[in-house]
Amino acid sequence: MSSIDARARALAACARDTEPDALVRGALLIASVEHGDLEAAPVLETLAAMGHEAARRVARLEGLEDRVTTLGDYLFEDLGFHGNEARYDDPRNSFLNDVLARRTGIPISLAIVWLDVARRAGLRVEGVNFPGHFLVRALGDGPHDELIVDVFHGGALLREGDCQRLLERHAGTAVEMSPEVLATAGTRQTLIRMATNLKRLYVRSRSFPQALETTHLLVALDEHAAMELRDRGLLAYQLKRLPEALRDLELYLRMLSPPYLTGQPAATPPGEDESEDRKEYEQIWEHVKTLRRRVAGFN
């Protein structure tokens, strides 16, 4: 088994794991795309020390807002963690070991630090899969006792109106808030979102080997993610790893099973989305035919 296959299996195991440190260990496996195999122990020891100090500071505080604010003062004022607005697209912002060393990152990587330290300090916390800007939530004892925190902006506490403005800024238009935008992000969802961010950066910078490895991790996190399977095949094709590209693109086409291939008339006229799907299917099918000829020539 190759090292990337081993990491993919380990990452999939982290996504299923219910242990408190599973998210941190998974984030380090994503960082291995750039850094190679990373030892989790030093990072966990650093976070444990931070959690111990945070626990000391919040121990005598009773109100949820006081505890969250004190935690924020420790992480963002005393330790200097901050959102990297100047170089948001720096891949190092997605590598947990670098985020801890440099004290800067993007919303999701800073959230992983905050969540782990807060948990160690005794707070009940969870990630929030907010569109375009990962957030965190601290939970109190009552059914409506909770706080939404923006770790990218110094641990700012967000009220409903703040979330509304943040959502509209992401959407670029007026939109209505719905409960889904504040849905909890579990370990698997958080790791998928983190790896997806990193993959986009690698593709944008044409770092195709790293993009391929990151997509391999994404497929391990969700084996039914057809788009990731397609992208892994296309990236392998770009890197002239033709048998791998053929395998993935053939499987992608089988997963699509578009209705227009069955020969049955559509119940309604094809819409714009279906036309685009058909166009993409035909493009991938052309790639597959080319790959079959080239791979056959290897034998």
- Could you tell me if residue 198 is inside a domain? no
Domain around 241: 224-259+273-299
Confidence of residue 287 (pLDDT cuts 50, 70, 90): very high
- Could you tell me if residue 96 is inside a domain? yes
Q: Do residues 123 and 72 share a domain?
A: yes
Q: Do residues 252 and 174 share a domain?
A: no
- Could you tell me if residue 229 is inside a domain? yes
If DSSP codes are grouped into helix, strand and coil, which group holds residue 272?
A: helix
Q: Which of 42, 41, 74 minimizes the C-alpha distance to 55? A: 74
pLDDT of residue 261: 52
Q: Is the pLDDT of residue 273 over 80?
A: no
DSSP state of 264: P
Last residue of one domain, picked from the residues 185, 206, 238: 185
Count up the domains in the chain and report the number: 2
Q: Which CATH number fits the domain that encloses residue 22?
A: 3.10.620
Q: Do residues 157 and 106 share a domain?
A: yes
- Could you tell me if residue 213 is inside a domain? no
Confidence of residue 1 (pLDDT cuts 50, 70, 90): low
Q: Do residues 179 and 58 share a domain?
A: yes
Q: Do residues 111 and 252 share a domain?
A: no
Give residue for tokens 């190759």: 2
Q: Answer whether 136's CB lies under 8 Å from 128's CB.
A: yes
Q: Do residues 98 and 179 share a domain?
A: yes
Q: Which has the higher per-residue pLDDT, 224 or 69?
A: 69
pLDDT of residue 299: 62
SS (H, E, C) 103-147: CEECHHHHHHHHHHHHHHCCCEEEEECCCCCCEEEEECCCCCCEE
Q: Do residues 133 and 55 share a domain?
A: yes
Q: How far is CA 65 from the centre of its chain?
A: 28
